[in-house]
Amino acid sequence: MMKNYYQFEKQKSNRLIWLLSIVALVLISCLVFSIWLYHSILVSKETGFLESEQIAKKEANIETVESIERFHGNQLYHVVSGSTKDHQKLIVFIPKSKDGKKQALTVVHQSDVKSKDVILKKWMSSCNECRFVDIKPGIVNKESIWEITYYDHSGRYVFEYFTMEDGTLYEQLRLRPSLHK
């Protein structure tokens, strides 16, 4: 009788070890998959940056690249910021199409436009209760713009576009906050 009890306890212990091992394996697999997915998404967002850097260097005579970003308005652009040999700061908009057709670049001399800092200060003075998210250069309908994203006082996610030329408000898009929180 005692022998059966010990065998039963041993079997119960073995089942528990197997169950915990399977749960641990599933959790580790989920973690590995999540890390792989996150990494592959980041890599896909930066696909073509090296090619865009080479295009900016060749066609816009940029010598030093400071940053490369993505902007997706009506079309996807890689935005290369940098400076030339004679220290002119440029923003180069390189259109990216799905069919791979080469399109004309848009080159903006930073000395000819309102700077990111000027636009940001102007925005901050007009939006006291807002929570800033990001500012980046972009193009909307062939107009070079600064895109500011933020949350307003009502919790709406807002995209505001200011022209680079004079800093006037070009367009604004407000997304309603989710009704299900």
- Give tens-digit pLDDT for 51-104: 888 989 998 889 999 999 999 888 889 999 999 999 899 999 999 877 777 788
49-110: which CATH topology?
Nuclear Transport Factor 2; Chain: A, (3.10.450)
141 closest CA partner among 125, 120, 163: 163
- Give tens-digit pLDDT for 7-64: 656 676 778 888 888 999 999 999 999 988 887 777 667 778 888 889 899 988 899 9
Domain locations in the chain as residue ranges: 1-45, 49-110, 116-175
- Give tens-digit pLDDT for 130-173: 999 999 999 998 899 999 999 998 889 999 999 999 999 999 99
* Non-local CB neighbours of 123 within 8 Å, separated by 6+ positions: 148, 150, 160, 162
Q: Give me the sign of the Cα torsion angle 150, 168, 59, 83.
A: negative
pLDDT of residue 136: 94
Confidence tier at 118 by pLDDT (50, 70, 90): very high
Domain 116-175 class, CATH top level: alpha beta
Name the phi and psi angles at 46, rounded to 5. -100, 5
At 7, the amino acid letter reads Q
Confidence tier at 6 by pLDDT (50, 70, 90): low
- Distance, in Å, from the CA atom of 49 to the CA atom of 119, rounded to the nearest integer, reads 26
pTM for the full model? 0.72
